[in-house]
Amino acid sequence: MKLIRFGEKGKEKPGIWWNGARRDCSGWFDDWNAAFLRDGGLEKLAEKKTVFEGLPLVPESERWGSPVARPALMACIGLNYADHAREAGLELPKEPILFLKPVNTIGGPFDPVRIPEPCRKTDWELELAFVVGRDVFALKDEREAAAAIAGYCMANDLSERSFQMDRGGQWVKGKSLPGFCPLGPWLQTADECPNVSHLSMQLSVNGTIRQDGSTADMVFNPAYILWYLSGFMQLEAGDIVLTGTPAGVGLGREGDAFLRPGDTLDASIDGLGCQLIRFE
């Protein structure tokens, strides 16, 4: 199943992407959130597949929101692709590198993103993200971790490199501006995303391809990442984990290759849809 949300930011309703159209599920569920996942919501939704066609259509004019409600926590993994570590001039990590991204950065897949002053090095990072399906702590192995993943979606870990690199070397400073985490367009449930470690990823800026990679090049796969993180913290149902980006970011290019107001970013991951972001 492909879960979507729609409507004004902060007032989104739950829906599904079904046979090429958005359908409204707000008559059945309040939202795609922690309570929904903890209450076996995915299983309950799957039981209704035979009547999906009868759900109300979402008007085309309705905004696409993030496919899941705001989580309690959003964790990110750095340098999880060997080619990206090389372009950044950094060693391949022996363990996953963890940082946190504020949950108020989350936006929809087609929302415009403002580049505020004094930003001068705004960068893109196309990433596979996953949503935790239940509360977890100290998972025993990768198999148990894989079973605790509700689904996968596309994310962009937008980064202001001047804040990240030039203002004390703390990554989170460059990751925290409003709108700097477009998510979606949909959350693909894990049972319908069996080849998550072999998905092609592509991102273009103003029509020029900048990232052209595959999740096959990950150093640490999603199940390992969730198992690893659960050894340090409790993750809750609905939490989001971003799993790193392949090579091709602006930081790895010569000259001034960063984003500017007026630029357009077009990104896609196999089976997980596309994003189209205009910068203001």
Q: What does the pLDDT look like over 35-58, one tens digit per residue?
A: 999 999 999 999 999 999 999 999
132 vs 147: CA distance, rounded Å: 10
Q: What is the mean pLDDT of residues 182-199?
A: 95
- Domain residue ranges in the chain: 2-54, 74-278
Asked if 218 and 56 count as a contact pair (C-beta separation under 8 A), the reply is: no
The pTM of the full predicted model, rounded to 2 decimals, is 0.96
| DSSP character at residue 116 | -
Biggest CA-to-CA distance, the chain: 55
pLDDT per residue over 63-114, tens digit each? 999 999 999 999 999 999 988 888 877 788 999 999 999 999 999 999 999 9
| CATH, domain range 74-278 | 3.90.850.10
